[in-house]
Amino acid sequence: MKQKSVIISGTGSYVPEKIMTNDDMSKIVDTSDEWIFTRSGIKERRIAAPDQAVSDMALKAAQRALEAAELKPSDIDLVIVATVNPDMMFPSSACLLQSKLGIRNNIPCFDIEAACSGFVYEVEIATRMMQSGHYKNALVVGAEKLSNMINWEDRTTCVLFGDGAGAVVLTLVDEENVGVLDTVLGADGSESMILSIPAGGSAMPTSADTVAQNMHSIRMDGKEVFKRAVKIMQEKAFEVCDRCGVSPDKLSLLIPHQANARIIESVAKRLNLPPEKVFMNLHKYGNTSSASIPIALDEVVRTRGIKKGEYILFVAFGAGLTWGATLVKWH
């Protein structure tokens, strides 16, 4: 039986207006532009307004993706939002986004939480749901307000993260071997505590003590995360290419999770990809977790474009520990 394909029919992104530079950071913690940039590749990041929720940023990115796909909200029959910082514990940010878009038809809407790997995870979920034949157009969004989750006294983490949202519209088409070709996903929960937010869940409910001890903010063993990210992102990039029978030299572009320039450069070197085939924009936005790949993809589409038939590789690594890689043949 002929297998239908799922293509990316539209992209959109949104980042808040407020820019916080490395020099701005140096006024908050003991750091400098040189210290931050040489260790991460980040120059600035965007910070959401106090009254801006994840669903608000997701809405703007989604509207732009729908416009690019030349679709109306009523054409969407599946909504997935990847985020580590939803508007509230429930309802899901996807349901709130559905309401803000004015989608009244009876469709599934839900959030997933796979941290920085969230976008790759949700693309795989949506693709397999769509290939069941029950869904034609899916809205897939990565959106984060990480500025809410930072300990602004911890210079090792507060300089790394930013806010924003990226969205894609996925469309089921009656063709084979185009669009999302394959995805590899994985996780290792035994290493979960090297990147975590300890408090706020059922294991450690919110209390005056957890707030006072900054246990609701990101804690990270940077050296261990770096070491594992480099190894696993390289492995999964090769694995998904091998599964699709596409050698890395056939890639037109690598769009990795935007966490650290040295991680990205190491992965690109292992794949033997020249700089012009590797997209980085973390110098402008920092690490926006699940939003980073769709924000980067939208920037690529709107600035340099992607030609039909070109192979694009997404690869990510995040808390969980989670990871994933997706190979796309542009349609």
Residues serving a catalytic function are 116, 257, 287
> What is the distance between the alpha carbons of residues 59 and 37, in angstroms, rounded to a whole number?
31
In sequence order, the β-bridge partners of residue 168 are 11, 140
Which of 185, 177, 116, 184 minimizes the C-alpha distance to 311? 177
Please give the radius of gyration of the chain, using alpha carbons only, rounded to the nearest integer.
Answer: 19
Alpha carbon of residue 109 to chain centroid = 18
Which of 233, 142, 218 minimizes the C-alpha distance to 185? 233
User: What CA–CA distances, in Å, run from 123 to 181, 233, 250?
Assistant: 11, 17, 22
Q: What is the DSSP letter of 3?
A: P
> What is the distance between the alpha carbons of residues 80 and 314, in angstroms, rounded to a whole number?
18
How many Cβ atoms are within 10 Å of 150's Cβ, its own excluded?
Answer: 18
